[in-house]
A and B are shown apart, each in its own frame.
Chain A
Amino acid sequence: MDIKQTVFSSIGQKLLLATSGLIMFLLFLIPHMGGNILFLFGPDIFNSYAEHLHQLVPIVIGIEVLMMVSISVHMFMGIRVALENRTAHDKRLSQKSTKERSLAARLMPVSGGMIFIFIIKHLLDFTLRAKPVTELHGHEVNDVYGMLLDKFTQPGHVIFYVLFMVAVGLHLSHALQSAVQTYGVYVPRKGSRIKLLSKLIAIGMASTFAIIPIIAFLHTR
């Protein structure tokens, strides 16, 4: 069996899905959440964090490249798997009635698509635009804090961000446990701690991300 066949086999594709997903989760999502939490400590700390991040440009670029690759692989494989599964499944006509399949699992392609839309918007909102400038300890720095506050004065934005964080939560809650099983670690059907942990992490992360726009919104009232 050659490499290509392994990669594009059903298990190979899922291993790539799981791996690219976990890279994004570990190297991007978690640090990003850590950074976001600093928002709660006021403009100085948050802006200083952003400034420090700038000084780490080589690493950041490295991670950004890795992210681009991961997103591409993840999306490519995700779409492939979803399309193949649609073809393989002959639609039944009678109602399906077991409860085993979770809502999160059912909505994986939808939540995945939503996350992609969110990323585009998020980049447009914050990364790919000119940032206001402020002064910190005598230096001139980007006022990311102010930019954020500014953005979330509009309720529409807040609702959009919160809604899309629900998608992130749903996606993660199935993705984490599923990735573990795909790597060959047994995740039982019932009473699994891995499943529980997967849900807790998903809820925790989604709400931490969602709380920033809400607080920002309340802050400006």
Chain B
Amino acid sequence: MVKLDARIPDGPMAEKWTNHKFKVKLVNPANKRKHKVIVVGTGLAGASAAATMSELGYQVHSFTYSDSPRRAHSIAAQGGINAAKNYPNDGDSIYRLFYDTVKGGDFRSREANVYRLAECSNLIIDHCVAQGIPFAREYGGYLANRSFGGAQVSRTFYARGQTGQQLLLGAFGALQKEIKKGGVKMHTRTEVIDIVVIDGQARGIIARNLVTGELTRHVADAVVLATGGYGNVFFLSTNAMNCNASAAWRAYKKGACFANPCYTQIHPTCIPVHGEYQSKLTLMSESLRNDGRIWVPKQKGDKRPANEIPEAERDYYLERKYPSFGNLVPRDLASRNAKQVCDEGRGVGPTGQAVYLDFAEAIQRLGRDNIEAKYGNLFEMYNRITDEDPYTTPMMIYPAVHYTMGGLWVDYNLMTTLPGLYAIGEVNFSDHGANRLGASALMQGLADGYFVLPNTINDYLASSSFTKVGTDHEAFAESEAAAKDKLDRLLAVNGSRTVDDFHKELGSLLWEKCGMARNEAGLKEALERIPQIRKAFWENVNVPGSADDLNQALEKANRVADFMEFAELMVKDALERAESCGGHFREESQTEEGEALRDDENFCYVSAWEFKGLDQEPELHKEALEFEEVHLSQRSYK
């Protein structure tokens, strides 16, 4: 039986972190090298944590399924990273960044964590600049900032459209430095298959060498998961192909609570699905909505090309419904409204699942050259993928799954409910509440990895006792046998459908019933269908090849098998949370105008689900959220 204890330090908000750092137990430098820590994942959070802990003297073992730690999907983040530096002198402060993030998260995050995140934001920029990350600069040589959605100040630091790449390469460099020094042992092409628990503590992992198929055992004093979000449960998302929820899911099954799995962020401006064969979706910067006008035909099923539809027969639905914000409403509103018009049968494009984003008026007003200067690279990317010229025909866009705010429940130290198991970056739930603001994901990953975890993990290592165990412990043998059994079972099915086929079926069900808008009936239907799909999967999936070889189909099958289980928890959580908040829109809970309606009376808490066994209902624990600093209020964008 788990008891949630967030371990939020006492004292005023602004002093909690400083006080906490003083109060946590430290590990003597000579003793640090006696502790082995496993870090799973080499994205921003994982790489930065592994490097920093190695600098402190811990023996770190780092794992990635990629051929190199530099491949993690943090690399694809385009926009930038927030920090409360206030370089533009526009009134920014740590407090304001904290405030914006809590509000942007629709009051479903933990204030103390968010405040710490805002505090660390400045240190991140200092560190990254020292690492030689080529941030954009002004002519005077000082750092440039730009504005981003959800904030009224310019606090976003950026390196062209590749901020994530540059920050990741910085962390990757730090990791390589420690690998060279011998502090980090890197395991590439090695996927974590299970978490090993001994005497109630996370004491190691079972990993699979993806080249030889060999299962290996790794023992440690603490295990850190930095394995990213679960967006790929939807099959189509902007996540990379290999992103998965397996490590987090195995942790859940070993005793770590899973928090708020229903919170997913759906980004409004992605390139629409264009065919059955589609493998992933591509995000287009949100900045396009600054000049593009979103519309669909007024008539249902109007199949005329965009240019032949006269002005009077177009519905600029965002401008119509939200006259003051127009096309610039927040992500969730823009996404939901696009879905609504498409559901009405007014969607455009070959699939009817798209809306127009039209630059004709902007080109007329500002001139083609101006538009080209502003959005040229995005137009080029769109053209490369769709073969259409957005200068002459309107772009087509549709929302897509992009980030997941939910994740493993962690306390203030970022430790899950399984002692010795930590979760950092997107895989934890802590900082973004029900909705993440732009340019905050990079900030959280690096804050956790560089500054938070290396300061909090000592508390556990210094205060816990560790029985001496080796990889010959029976818990390792059991976990390994279970992992092997699962892989063998997947290979043995030898059915008639591919893994992707099942994954697509699950994904489209979730997208329909647990996507941009959810309702009780739909969620209940999904709860019935998921076990059926899962059953069919285990009866009829076809996984070719063997377990003793590089076998991408097997890797995928093993991940999809976990998604099949995870999806159920996600839908359950969505059903349980009968309010609308942030990325979670329950149709039953809306204002008369159709806006999301939060229910602070009944749902101002974090849902943390505890695994109770394969055939048992998970148990819901609630961590009540208290707002001392930012007062609860309803958002309005009319």
Asked if chains A and B are in direct contact (CB within 8 A), the reply is: no
A: which residues have CB within 8 A of B? none
